């Protein structure tokens, strides 16, 4: 489900700071579907916000890989983004340099935290420009200053900045949940492996099943989002299948 799709002739390819980026055509379609509930005029804006935000997230992973001397490439595909480490020169020949569990934790956290840092920068920019930030409650609980109002640029700019803040903070928090294959699931596994090298990976899968199931129920009954319920229901089931096939 989260595997990279093979290259197509419609891929958008470019490079950012020496990191190759490939955007699969289905990425735009999924971004469009996720934003289809908004007003018609906000849809291109929404797609651009999703593109920038997923790119910032993956750049966080890619820069963390680079910090540990591992080259990587970014692929934006139908289910979001992926940062794939490349084979790197190592010793006499070529081998894939695999990061230690501690390094993996930093690499996983770098994605969501790149988004949080980006959101903080945007908030700073709004304040500097004389704009205002209003608090909205995330999940109906967490109060966060995610609604922006700017004194210029009309409604368009304020909506754009509000979308940027929402996606970078909201998706970042979601990504930190201890469910596979989200970044939070990877962090949980690598933390548990430190303390329990034999059974840590299995325990992380059980946490993923339980957390995924609980979030699916919260999505359905509290957030009233069929999308959240389905997504986490599927992820919990996939973790359960991994448990059945591996242990
Ligand atoms: Zn990530």
How far does residue 185's CA lie from ligand 1's centre (Å)?
10
Q: What is the mean pLDDT of the chain?
A: 88
Distance 135 CA to ligand 1 centre (A): 26
Measured in Å, residue 85 CA sits from the centre of ligand 1 at 13
Q: Could you tell me if 105 and 190 are in contact, meaning their C-beta atoms sit under 8 angstroms apart?
A: yes
Q: What are phi and psi of 27, to 5 degrees?
A: -55, -45
CA atoms within 13 A on the CB side of 29: 8
21: three-class secondary structure by DSSP: strand
- Checking if the pLDDT of 43 tops 90, the result is no
Which pair of structure tokens corresponds to residue 236?
Answer: 């919990």
Distance of CA 5 to the CA centre of its chain: 18
| Euclidean distance between CA atoms 112 and 134, whole angstroms | 22
Alpha-carbon separation of residue 225 from 157, 193, 217, 231 (angstroms): 27, 33, 10, 10
Quote the ligand 1 centre to 115 CA distance (angstroms).
10
- Does the pLDDT at position 64 exceed 80? yes
Distance (Å) from CA 172 to ligand 1 centroid: 8
- Alpha carbon distance 210, 172 (integer Å): 20
Size of the chain, expressed as the number of residues it contains: 247
pLDDT higher than 50, residue 82: yes
Number of Cβ within 10 Å of residue 124's Cβ equals 10
Q: Ligand 1 mean position to 189 CA, how many Å?
A: 15
Q: Where are the beta strands (DSSP E) in 61-211?
A: 72-77, 80-85, 88-90, 93-95, 132-138, 142-149
CA 175 / ligand 1 centre spacing (Å): 7
State the pLDDT at residue 86: 78
How far is the centre of ligand 1, averaged over its atoms, from the C-alpha of 155 (Å)?
A: 31
Burial class (CB in 10 A: 0-12, 13-18, 19+), 103: middle
pLDDT value of position 87: 60
> What separation in Å is there between the alpha carbon of 190 and the centre of ligand 1?
15
Which residues have C-beta under 5 Å from ligand 1, the single-atom ion? 111, 183
Q: What is the pLDDT of residue 92?
A: 42
What is the average per-residue pLDDT within 228-243?
Answer: 95
Q: How far apart are CA 124 and CA 128, in angstroms?
A: 6
pTM beyond 0.75: yes
Q: From ligand 1's centre to the CA of 59, what distance in Å? A: 9
- 21: CA distance to ligand 1 center in Å? 15
């Amino acid at each position: 489900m989260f595997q990279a799709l093979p290259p197509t002739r419609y891929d958008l390819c470019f490079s950012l700071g020496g990191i190759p980026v490939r955007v699969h055509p289905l990425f735009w379609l999924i971004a469009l579907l996720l934003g289809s509930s908004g007003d018609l005029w906000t849809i291109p804006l929404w797609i651009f916000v999703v593109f920038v935000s997923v790119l910032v997230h993956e750049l966080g992973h890619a820069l963390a890989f680079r910090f540990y001397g591992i080259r990587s490439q970014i692929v934006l595909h139908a289910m979001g983004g992926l940062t794939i480490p490349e084979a790197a020169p190592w010793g006499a020949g070529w081998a894939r340099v695999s990061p230690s569990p501690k390094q993996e934790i930093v690499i996983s956290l770098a994605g969501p935290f790149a988004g949080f840092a980006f959101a903080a920068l945007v908030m700073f920019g709004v304040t500097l420009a004389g704009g205002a930030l209003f608090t909205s409650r995330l999940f109906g609980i967490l109060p966060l200053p995610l609604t922006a109002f700017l004194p210029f640029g009309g409604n368009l700019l304020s909506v754009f900045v509000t979308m940027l803040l929402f996606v970078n903070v909201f998706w970042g928090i979601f990504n930190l949940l201890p469910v596979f294959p989200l970044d939070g699931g990877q962090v949980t596994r690598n933390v548990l492996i430190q303390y329990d090298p034999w059974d840590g990976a299995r325990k992380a899968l059980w946490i993923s099943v339980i957390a995924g199931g609980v979030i699916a129920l919260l999505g359905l009954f509290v957030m009233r989002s069929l999308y959240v319920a389905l997504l986490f229901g599927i992820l919990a089931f996939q973790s359960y299948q991994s448990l059945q096939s591996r242990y």
